[in-house]
A and B are shown apart, each in its own frame.
Chain A
Amino acid sequence: MDFLNAFIALSNFVLVPAIAYGSQLALGALGVTLIYGILRFSNFAHGDTMAFGAMVTVLFTWLFQSWGISLGPLPTALLALPLGIAACMLLLLATDRVVYRFYRAQKAKPVILVIVSLGVTFIMNGIVRFIIGPDDQRFLDGERFIVSARTFKEMTGLEEGLAIKTTQGITLITAVIVVALLFWFLNRTRTGKSMRAYSDNEDLALLSGINPERVVMITWLIVAALATIAGVLYGLDKSFKPFTYFQLLLPIFASAIVGGLGNPIGAIAGGFVIAFSEVTVTYAWKKVLGYLMPESLEPDGLVQLLSTDYKLAVSFLILLIVLLFKPTGLFRGKAV
């Protein structure tokens, strides 16, 4: 029995990666949930919006790197992030102007908007592949670890090492800052309150003189920022590949629905629920159990519930369970 080593092993392989992944999912799900709350449709283009914002950031990162600008131990991508957000904002405002506004004026059914967003998905995907190609791109630089496994072992003298990547630290800190800002904006500012009012009851909001086009515009701007940040953080943590962002759609939607579509707090909770279940179910528990159990009971196999190839299946299963037993999500979302 060795609780300390077991806990360190658990943190190293489960807790830390799941917290980082959960923050990324939460940021993505916040974007989806905001669009759902204000524009009232599920935006399938969200994954590719993330890819676009991340792509612009990658390009500027390369430019800065070629100029020799860097942030020292931090990745240069953080410097390029505002430019990526700006480009993504322009793209989303243009899409809204050219595509979505027409259907809004027509009061089209939500499912039509979903199909339209699917069309937008593929145009965006085409643009991204056209500019940067379909391959893996690396744009991470700076210090790799905050704490590496070896220094941790030397520091504590424990058998197990705990490695925390810089990207994981940055992900968590950025996510906390962004979420705090978002909630401050939604709850404290006049514009944020008008957004919530519009989301709760469109007609009442219109009657009290809220300009719907302004609300929609601000929503897109916030969503662009959230999507780009989520996309860049994911790209830094794993690697940037256009197609993976389309596949992120499922866990992101699962997070938003599990938390309750249209509910920002739900989106964050959902992101962590999905991330923790994905990581715990696909983690091989042999090591942790080995420390916890007496030697005679130690498991022979890897004690991995599902192979990592079925990560998607985990988010899907949770989604199905929530749909079956609590269709409005853990936190009450809106039902349309």
Chain B
Amino acid sequence: MNSALKNTLLFAVVGLMILYTGFAQSWNTALLILNMGLISAIMALGVNLQWGFAGLFNVGIMGFVALGGLAAVLMGMPPTPGAWSAGGWNILAAFVFALLTVVAVVMVRGRMRAGWARGVVIIAMMIAGFFIYRALFDPGVEAVEAINPALTGFLGGLGIERGLWVALAWPVGGLFAAAAAWVIGKTALGLRSDYLAIATLGIAEIIIAVLKNEDWLARGVKNVVGLPRPAPFEIDLQNDPGFVERAAGYGMDPVTASTLYVKLAYAGLFTVVLVILLVMAQRALHSPWGRMMRAIRDNEVAAEAMGKDVTARHLQIFVLGSAVCGIAGAMMTTLDGQLTPGTYQPLRFTFLVWVMVIVGGSGNNFGAVLGGFLIWFLWVQVEPMGLWLMELITSGMADGSPLKAHLIESAAHMRLFTMGLVLLLVLRFSPRGLIPER
């Protein structure tokens, strides 16, 4: 069997599994899996760029995804009336001041001779700068958060909320993620390989902490809901007589038809993004640049001897891959229609994407996409399967026994275990994944 046929078959199998869900459970579930599968595939593409092309180990995907989500809020939500005049400019001034302080410190460090005098001056500047920054920042935050805290209490965004313009937030999400990745890459790349892992792990946790606690930015754990969406609202469709008539023509009731229609619209948009990114990733892989990346991955010393700037190339691809994850994150927040910082967990957003890339086949873009769909499907379906398994195991036990209750209750934690096991098994027995790199 040649590889093209095998790959097509693999994709067909995943497609059939989703179709089967449609027939056996419901089409809404199937489309939900499809939409999240598309987003997961994009995340996997981004990680594949970093790991598959360049061998960089990023465990901060969650943070980049969350930054994408923040972009969706900042682009889509309408500006809160009065928030900018109340304290927004204060906050902005504080940031500008902080930036100037950093620049000044760097300049002083360059100009003065090394020694204790420089150390004292720099520390004094930093301490003074910090307190002035807080003096500017705190009243601004207080004023913004005081504006109708039950509904807004944050700065709001640009208010781009009409039709397809909403999708503008997605590339912006990529930019946000890229900026964070640049800072991390600048410090941790070029050092020993596991430092990047630890630094990314840290930045992800910190981004989530910022999103949870800075209410003026995106309402923190109070969540931003009702984000604008590029697809029409179900209720509008149901009130549209033309739509109801067409739905009746297909023999469907308008409520089901409208939910399916909206999900299909999203699926179409996401497919466009996925195809664009996939084509770009394929072109990159087969370009001289892609070959250089793989040469660096396989033998850094040799590549460096050939005159390649390993650290700069690593930084480049790290920023690119994180940007792709940011785009996916913005898309996901748009799909959900809300930003809920409390739900970002490293397991779900970092680790799962890793399993996708490794199971699908690292170094192969199609592998990453396949892994995205397959693992997302499993992720959704393992829980009912685990529950079923637990019920099978405990069927012999007496009803009401504490062990039975505990086992059935614990079925939800099967996911972690299963995904860890899948990763270890694939790494051990088929380290090249389902669609290996060519």
Contacts and interface: CB of A to CB of B under 8 A. Distances in A.
Nearest to A42: B194
Interface of B: 55, 57, 59, 130, 138, 187-188, 191-195, 197-199, 201-203, 205-206, 209, 212-213, 346-347, 351, 354, 358, 409-410, 413-421, 423-424, 427-428
Give the most central of B59, B194, B195, B418: most A CB within 10 Å.
Answer: B194
A111 B347 CA distance: 19
Contact of B416 (A125, A250, A313): A125
A45 B161 CA distance: 44
Contacts, number: 125
Interface in A308-334: 309-310, 312-313, 315-316, 319-320, 323-324, 327
Contacts of A111: 55, 57, 193-194, 197
Contacts of B428: 99, 102
Contact of B413 (A134, A247, A310, A315): A134
Contact of B192 (A118, A121, A335): A335
Contacts of B427: 112, 115-116, 119
A133 interface: yes
Contacts of A127: 417
A307 B213 contact: yes
A155 to B, nearest CB: 37
B358 A115 contact: yes
A287 to B, nearest CB: 18
B157 to A, nearest CB: 23
Contacts of B130: 305
A129 B416 CA distance: 9
A118 B202 contact: no
Nearest to B421: A123
Contacts of B188: 323
Interface string A100-129: 001000000111101110111111011101
8 contacts: A44-B59, A114-B57, A118-B351, A122-B419, A125-B347, A305-B130, A313-B206, A327-B192
- List 6 A-B pairs, minimum CB-CB distance, nearest first: A126-B417, A122-B420, A126-B416, A123-B420, A316-B202, A119-B423
B194 A114 contact: yes
A277 B327 CA distance: 35
Nearest to B431: A112
Q: Please classify the interface of chain A as helix (H, G, I), strand (E, B), loop, or mixed, using the class held by over half of its residues.
A: helix
B198 A118 contact: no
B194 A246 contact: no
Interface residues on A, range: 35 or more
A133 B59 contact: no
Nearest to A243: B345
Given A114-B57, A247-B205, A310 B213 contact: yes
Given A110-B194, A114-B197, A122 B417 contact: yes
A129 B413 contact: yes
B410 to A, nearest CB: 5
Given A99-B424, A323-B188, 16 more contacts: A111-B194, A115-B57, A118-B59, A118-B351, A120-B424, A123-B420, A125-B347, A126-B417, A127-B417, A250-B198, A309-B213, A310-B206, A312-B209, A316-B205, A323-B187, A324-B187
Contact of B410 (A114, A129, A301, A312): A129
A102 B429 CA distance: 11
Contact of B351 (A122, A253, A305): A122
Contacts of B192: 327, 335-336
Nearest to B193: A111
Contacts of A257: 195, 198
Contacts of B57: 111, 114-115
A323 B420 contact: no
A224 B205 CA distance: 26
Contact of A319 (B199, B417, B421): B199
Nearest to A102: B428
A122 B347 contact: yes
A316 B187 CA distance: 12
Contacts of B354: 115, 118
Given A133-B410, A320-B187, A323-B195, A116 B424 contact: yes
B165 to A, nearest CB: 35
A111 B409 CA distance: 36
A41 interface: yes
